[in-house]
Amino acid sequence: MPQEDSSRGAVRPVDAVALGRQLTRIERSPEPPWLHAEAARRMAERLPWIKRSPKRIVDWWARQGASQVVLAQAHPKAERIALERHVGIRDERLRAEARPWWSLRRHGAAPAQVVVAADLSAGSADLVWANMVLHAVADQQALMRQWQRALVVDGFLMFTTLGPGSLQTLREIYQSAGWGSPHAPFVDMHDLGDMLVEAGFAEPVMDQETLTLTYADPAALLHELRGLGGNANPDRQPGLRTPRWRERLLHALAARAGADGRIGVEIELVYGHAFKGMPKAAVAPETLIGLDAMREMVRAGHPRAPIPKPKPPLP
């Protein structure tokens, strides 16, 4: 699944093909991972920090984000756009919204409009909500730029992702046995904050918490981790592992059991939110402002849009 590589500016090494296969497997599951729903619930506890109520919400990769209920509870009057990764998932979501497993009417919310990224125009959202998405892409900053484009000026982003404190026990087992890393690198929250600024966001706020999940036996632990993804590290061992290797892994996990007989594994949840600031014109003797930027300034009611400095008259 999507070790820690917190060097600033470093390209995160990920096997994009393997990552895509893992995402497809998650999307085809009958239900999204329960951890995603729990992360959505915890992120929703931070929504009161934002005093402004969004009129339109883009729920990024909505099906696997498992956030329909918490968004409907928090903002029942908001228009919700469910953005999915590709057309097939979009069509599946359209059918599912016709027969929802939970009652939209109970929360006074209307069904979401289901789109893919190509359908989404710039400035579509007051809130971009991206639950457990960022660690599942190869180019994280490119995704941040998409989020920034989707927002109106002064719109805000809220996201969760996995941090480098995740799966420390599993990494220790792999390193002790000489098996390399069990997953692709996670990115430190301070680096994610820097990436948000580079992508055009303002006032990023990052925080985290570490959950310890416990399991009755090692097989149950591995089954749940597979439901969350897989090993997309490009330096992972090629080919299939043997049954003997799996038995060694199960034995090593069992040896980590606590006094109660349960085996713990760490999950670091990183939370982030940031605003889309006013477009900035370059400071120069002659300032040129694009038409799109000027329109955004006017729509946002900016009191002082910068005015180009006139050139001196010719002699």
In tens, the pLDDT along 166-202 reads 999 999 999 999 999 999 999 999 999 999 999 999 9
Reference 153, options 312, 299, 36; nearest CA is: 299
CA–CA gap between residue 80 and residue 113 (Å, rounded): 7
Highest mean pLDDT among 27-31, 98-102, 212-216, 281-285: 212-216
Question: pTM of the entire structure?
Answer: 0.82
**13 has a pLDDT exceeding 80:** yes
Give the confidence band of 267 by pLDDT, cuts at 50, 70, 90: very high
Q: Tell me what the mean pLDDT of segment 4-17 comes to.
A: 64
Task: Return the ∠ at Cα 105 (arms to 58 and 112), rounded to 5°.
Answer: 20
Element (H, E) at 161: strand 151-162
Q: Which CATH class is domain 16-164+184-210+269-299?
A: alpha beta
Residue 10 pLDDT: 46
CB proximity list for 275: less than 8 A, separation 6 or greater = 154, 155, 156, 157, 201, 202, 203
Choice between 299 and 223, residue whose per-residue pLDDT is larger: 223
Residue 281 pLDDT: 57
Q: Tell me what the mean pLDDT of segment 254-273 comes to.
A: 97
Choice between 111 and 14, residue whose per-residue pLDDT is larger: 14
Choice between 67 and 299, residue whose per-residue pLDDT is larger: 67
Residue 278 pLDDT: 83
Please state, in angstroms and as integers, the Cα–Cα distance from residue 105 to each residue in 8, 122, 278, following that order: 46, 30, 37
**216 has a pLDDT exceeding 90:** yes
**What letter would DSSP give residue 108?**
T
Q: Tell me what the mean pLDDT of segment 60-65 comes to.
A: 95
- Contact indicator for 37, 66 with CB cutoff of 8 Å: yes
Structure tokens that stand for 254 in this block: 């069992």
Q: How far apart are the first and last CA of the chain?
A: 68
Give the confidence band of 4 by pLDDT, cuts at 50, 70, 90: very low
**227 has a pLDDT exceeding 70:** yes
Q: Tell me what the mean pLDDT of segment 245-272 comes to.
A: 97
